[in-house]
Structure 1
Amino acid sequence: MVDYEKIVKFFLQEYILDENYEVKINKNKENITITVVLDKKDMGKLIGKNGNIITSLRNLINSISNKDKKNVKILVKNN
C-alpha cells in the first residue's frame, strides 16, 4: 500500500511550502483524509492561482489511490 502522507509531505516540502505546516491523517477501511494545517500567509502558496496547485495535488493523489481502490481527500485548514 502507498503511503499517501509521505507523498503529500514530499511535495509540500520540496516545491510548495516552508517548514511552517502540519500534516494529519485519518484512516478508515476505504477512506483516508489528509489534513494540512498551515498559517494564513502560506494558504495562497498551497491553493495557487484559481486553486490550480491544490487541485493538481488532489488529482495526483486520487490517481495513485485509484490503484488501491481507496478514497483519499486532502483538506486545507488555517492554523
Structure 2
Amino acid sequence: MVEDFLREYAKLIVEFPDKIQVQKVDLEDNIIELIVFADKIDTGKLIGRNGKMINAIKTVVSAYKVKDLTSYRVTVKSIE
C-alpha cells in the first residue's frame, strides 16, 4: 500500500512517469527501505531544493507507521 502511494505520487512530480519504479527491501524487524528509481533528470525533482520535496515525502510515508508499526526509509536512485 505504501509502495503504491509512493509510486503514484512520484509519477505526479517527475517528467518521465513511465520510468518510476519502487522497490521494497526488508532490512530488519519492522524496518523497510523503499527505493524509488527514477530517470536521471527526475531525481533532482524528487529530492527538491535543499531536500524539501523528499523530506515532505518521508513525512507522509512515516505516517504509515501508526497503522502497521513499521518504520520506512525512503531512498531515491537514478536509472542509468
TM range (shorter): 0.7 to 0.9
User: Under a length normalisation based on structure 2, what TM-score does the superposition of the two structures give?
Assistant: 0.82
Match of 1:16 among 1, 8, 13: 13
User: Under a length normalisation based on structure 1, what TM-score does the superposition of the two structures give?
Assistant: 0.82
How far 1:40 moved relative to its partner? Answer: 1.5
Q: Percent identity?
A: 26
Which consecutive residues of structure 2, in runs of 5 or more, have no partner in the other structure?
A: none
Q: Distance in 1 between matches of 2:42 and 2:76?
A: 11
Q: Distance in 2 between matches of 1:10 and 1:21?
A: 9
* Count of residue correspondences: 76
How far 1:16 moved relative to its partner? Answer: 0.8
Which consecutive residues of structure 1, in runs of 5 or more, have no partner in the other structure?
A: none
* Dislocated runs of 4+, deviation >4 Å: none
Alignment of 1:1-79 (within 5 A): 3-13=1-11, 15-17=12-14, 18-27=17-26, 29-79=29-79
Report the RMSD for the aligned CA atoms in angstroms: 1.5
